[in-house]
Amino acid sequence: MNSENNKYLWEALADDVNARMGVDGNDFHQKLIRPATLRLLNLQPNEHIIDIACGNGIFARYLAAHDVDVVAFDFSPKLLAHAKDRCADYLDHISFSVADATNYDQLLSLGEGKPFDKAVANMAVMGFPQIEPLFRAVYEMLKSNGVFVFSAVHPCFQTPGRGFTEDSSGLITYNYIESKQYAYQILTTTDKYAYHWHRPLQELLGVAFNAGLVMDGIEEPVYGKGECTHAVWEKVPLPIVLRVRKLIK
């Protein structure tokens, strides 16, 4: 699977994703991803932040509403069109670009050479066939002591083929240590799909460490009691949210 084929699948999903996410995100984003991401980002006024694989722009819009300047990009022109519509009132604080998160040179061209205070990628890295170019580029684009907060499906509990125990109180996971590409029905009620790339934590974090970044924050958010349709997600985290930092030289 290359980036062009992946882009084709996401272009087909763009309208579905926009409808499901709406203007403020779905339940998963509002209850799990956004709160944990904001805690780890620790936003400050007038910061310069890059929003990686911004989708329909809901998080870029949230950042801009809190006095942050945002460079947002996605490789799907249709998703970016939705993002510009969603963010129409904040375009003085957001610039949108079409770019591929697996293309190191395209990434470095963003932001016109101005270093970023912070970078964020919400539920995106598991959708990239390669992640090394992104982490290398983020390291280069961040200021010293800048942070990159990214989230993904939790690789320990969202392995391909995972299932529930007989009493539905827990999970059974398979082949955690093996990296694998798998089709996934994403934010749609149709038969459309895209691909995820399962990576164990040693691989996911190893790429960040090899790029020169150091992890200094982690959250594994779960739903509150009665907030989700399956009680297991009150005890087992669906996503993982990580913060890595470019240390001061």
Calculate what percentage of the chain has a pLDDT beyond 90: 80
| Residue 94 to residue 97: CA distance in whole angstroms | 10
State how far the Cα of 78 lies from the Cα of 163, in Å rounded to an integer.
34
Structure tokens at 187: 């934010």
Mean pLDDT of 77-87: 96
Residue 1: pLDDT band by 50, 70, 90 thresholds?
Answer: low
Q: What is the pLDDT of residues 94-131, one digit of tens each?
A: 999 999 999 999 999 998 889 999 999 999 999 999 99
Domain carrying residue 108: 3-246
Q: Are strands 48-52 and 69-74 parallel, antiparallel or unpaired?
A: parallel
CATH code at 161?
3.40.50.150
Extract the tokens encoding 213. Answer: 């970044």
* Count: domains in the chain: 1
Residue 144, number of CB atoms within 10 A of its CB: 10
For 208-228, the pLDDT digits (tens) are: 999 999 999 999 999 999 998
Rounded to two decimals, what is the model's pTM? Answer: 0.95
The predicted pLDDT at position 111 comes to: 82
